Amino acid sequence: MGCSLTKNLKEGQYALYENEIKGIDQADKEELYGLIEQEPNTRFLGSSLGVTIYRFGEKFYDSLSLVSKLGLVDAELSEIRLALDTIPNDRKLRKRADKLISKGEGLKKKLEFGNALMRTGNPLVLLDSIQTETTVDNLQGYLVNHGFFDSGVQYEVETNEKKAFVTYLISEKSSYLLDSVYTRSANTEIIKLLNQTAKDSHIKKGDSYNQDNISAERNRIEDLLKNNGFFMFSKSYINYIAYKDTASKTVKLEQVIQQPTFAEIHEIYTIDSITFRINPPSNEFADRRIQEKFRDINFFFYRNRYSAKLLASRIFFKPGQAYSRVSAIETQRQLSNLDLFRFVNISFDTLGTSLTANIFTQPNQKYQLTNQIGMTITEQLPGPFFSTALRNRNFFRAGEILEFNFRAGLEGVASATGQGVYQSSEINTGVTLIFPRFLIPFAPGSLQKYGRYNPNTRVRVGFNYTNRPEYTRNSINSLLSYTWATSNNRIFYTFNAADLSYIRTPKIQDEFLSILTDLQNEGNNLIWSFLPSFISSMSGQTIINFNKYGNFTTNKASLLRLFAESGGTTLNFMDVQSNSEPDIEFANFQWLKTQVDFRRYYPVNEKQTFAYRFNFGWAKPYGVSAGILPYEKYFFAGGGTSIRAWQARRLGPGSSTPQTGEGGEYDYTNEQPAEMILETMLEYRRKLIGYFDMALFIDAGNSWMIGYDPSRPGADFRYDRFYREIAVGAGFGLRMDFDFLVIRLDLATKAIDPSKPLGERWVFDNVSFRRPFGVRGQTVLNFGIGYPF
């Protein structure tokens, strides 16, 4: 074959085809495979697309020409630099020098990694005996570090038609166990701390000997001591001596805390004084410095524009306290979170066992203007957008931030009245004032009490305008919101104390109005969601991020989002007109809503991962709502981040039947609002070549109404049948991952369609080689930016 891996190999060259490790019973096989220096090329039917692309790129690659071009660039750049020594302010020469530097970097990149095609593909991996020997050393080192002191590693290479198969043969033997762990130190304070935290130790009697655990224990002890006043201590003072007993296969481990060279024992250091200095942007402001003392902290400002009370609330150590590294790190992080300073540096000067804490900062720019032009891909159609934001820092001289935002764009939306995708224009503008504290009436101590939780109070007023094919909708909204987080940024909280909106729909397309009217005649009063309305709610949200979910690396990670909302709560204490009254012209709404969203990221290795999502939502109107929610509060199933085999917002609810189009097939034309949603998604992701990744996925779920909907029989949720109304879709995706941007293309096919009669819901057999996309409407193509979850 033209793309065969073994094509044109020289004598003595072999394409690495397979690595295998044999003899592992106790050690971690996955970690051992990760130590192999050479990985075979990814193959399909004996060929590798990556190698084919690389070889194709080589045909257009001329290293001698690149070397020659780089020499000419370097020569011209040298001449320009000599000229700049004489006339350093010549803009034309500087501009030319910058272009040459950029061009030279590009040529060096091509010399090292090849042209664009070569960088997209992969070079053929040839068997290298040196790297094979290095792998043996890696495997042996791993086994010894994990207690297999008597182990041995060898390798065998089998060749067949220029293909090499490498087998690493491991004689594992028994793992040595820790018989005892003893700590030796002349410092009784250190011994006391270690005994108090013995349950947190990473090395315990009876465990297998593991060098990784010993390294983790050294780090734990260093953190423990530095957070309890031992400012000068470091893990370099911790040594371990292992005594092996080959007969009993045990190890006696001695943990030695060495004495410092500058003192008799390790001593505890205490904070003596704290100085906070905001340096002026230039020396011209040196005569405008202001000194202030608050909470025993000496503040030096170059202008009277900062609140010592606010800054003191973000400093988590004070004079008289023992040094704590975690307090210093948290202080630096929380001061940086204020977004008032370009940098925050904290240093400590020692005098005996006393510390002088010095906090140095420099003001961030007062005004910041950010403009962005881009493209969104929503519901299959790309659309441009423009946004701008003006930020005014330290607005009231107490750390407040004032933001003006404006965004205008076009987005692709599936029409609610007919098949196809149409452009929707949207304009958003607003002003937000962010206070770096909780604005709580009659709670003057809240600033200092909650400072370590990065508290913020947001007050926002905004205007939204949406022009969809079916209607034009605008709203004025305001928000009072509180946000805070735990000190490790693992848990984020948001409480929207007041979320108020006045919504009008001045224009409704005749066809869409006809649909709403027909629904009303059938008993569905969705039309009330498009009456002028005043909507108020309060809500809370908690996001728990386990192990930095979102940074998709080789670490397992999860994210849990919990949301609860109460709408129109104050209407319980007022006498207002119900939406069910015949002369209603202004709608009021009351509802309860909750949602649970769990996501899990599980990497198998560097190239393969599994991702999982479970999403459940429930919303129930009550009181004056007369069974109707505001349109934006309904749940919708289907689309690029939901059940991908259905068009956006078109799945369900329940087993209700969509309209029937030409040919008798279902015509998913109308959006399907629902009061409950249950969906789960499982995705297998694998790196291919270069920027390209692939995915295989299965989505399952549906949406339902809580009560009976006369206009949509089968839409209501019932325990005795909901499990038979779970829609299932499957498909594959192609992604281009540029690190800063992920472009996603997913092709999904319906497998189980709950809108079909019982016994006919399995529709996956409609897909065949003759009909790879099944019947009309069975396969959906989704474009997207970013991962679906």
Write down the residue that tokens 């109304």 correspond to: 725
Q: Coil, strand, or helix at residue 346? A: strand
Arithmetic mean of pLDDT, 342-358: 94
pLDDT, position 134: 95
pLDDT, position 180: 92
Up-side HSE of residue 105: CA atoms within 13 Å toward CB? Answer: 5
Where does residue 765 rank: exposed (0-12), middle (13-18), buried (19+ CB within 10 A)? exposed
Q: What span, in angstroms and rounded, lies between the C-alpha atoms of 160 and 263? A: 67
What band does 133 get if pLDDT is binned at 50, 70 and 90? Answer: very high
Arithmetic mean of pLDDT, 568-581: 75
Arithmetic mean of pLDDT, 111-126: 84
Strand partners, 343: 362
pTM above 0.95, yes or no: no
Stronger pLDDT, 375 or 79, i.e. the higher one: 79
pLDDT, position 419: 47
Mean pLDDT for the chain overall: 87
pLDDT at 222 over 50: yes
pLDDT, position 1: 40
Which is nearest to 645 in space by CA: 783, 780, 787?
A: 780
Arithmetic mean of pLDDT, 84-99: 83
What band does 532 get if pLDDT is binned at 50, 70 and 90? Answer: confident
pLDDT, position 158: 93
pLDDT at 501 over 80: yes
Arithmetic mean of pLDDT, 168-195: 92
Pairing of strands 367-378, 250-257: unpaired
pLDDT, position 267: 93
Stronger pLDDT, 640 or 457, i.e. the higher one: 457
Q: What span, in angstroms and rounded, lies between the C-alpha atoms of 295 and 272? A: 13
714-756 pLDDT per residue, tens: 889 999 999 999 999 999 999 888 777 788 889 999 999 998 8
What band does 636 get if pLDDT is binned at 50, 70 and 90? Answer: very high
Residues whose CB falls within 8 Å of the CB of residue 104, separated by 6 or more in sequence, listed in order: 70, 73, 74, 77
Phi, psi of 166 (to 5 degrees): -105, 130
Residues whose CB falls within 8 Å of the CB of residue 729, separated by 6 or more in sequence, listed in order: 643, 644, 645, 646, 698, 699, 700, 748, 749, 750, 751
pLDDT, position 3: 54
248-304 pLDDT per residue, tens: 999 999 999 999 888 889 999 999 999 999 987 665 555 567 888 999 999 998 777
pLDDT, position 2: 42
Q: What span, in angstroms and rounded, lies between the C-alpha atoms of 375 and 414? A: 18
53-72 pLDDT per residue, tens: 888 888 888 888 888 988 99
325-337 pLDDT per residue, tens: 999 999 999 999 9
386-438 pLDDT per residue, tens: 889 999 999 888 899 999 999 988 766 655 555 455 667 889 999 999 999 98
pLDDT at 207 over 60: yes
Judged by average pLDDT, the poorest of 20-29, 443-452, 691-700, 712-721 is 443-452
Stronger pLDDT, 287 or 482, i.e. the higher one: 482
pLDDT, position 672: 87
How is the beta sheet containing 177-184 ordered, strand by strand? 177-184, 250-257, 238-245
pLDDT at 619 over 80: yes
Q: What span, in angstroms and rounded, lies between the C-alpha atoms of 679 and 656? A: 17
pLDDT, position 164: 92
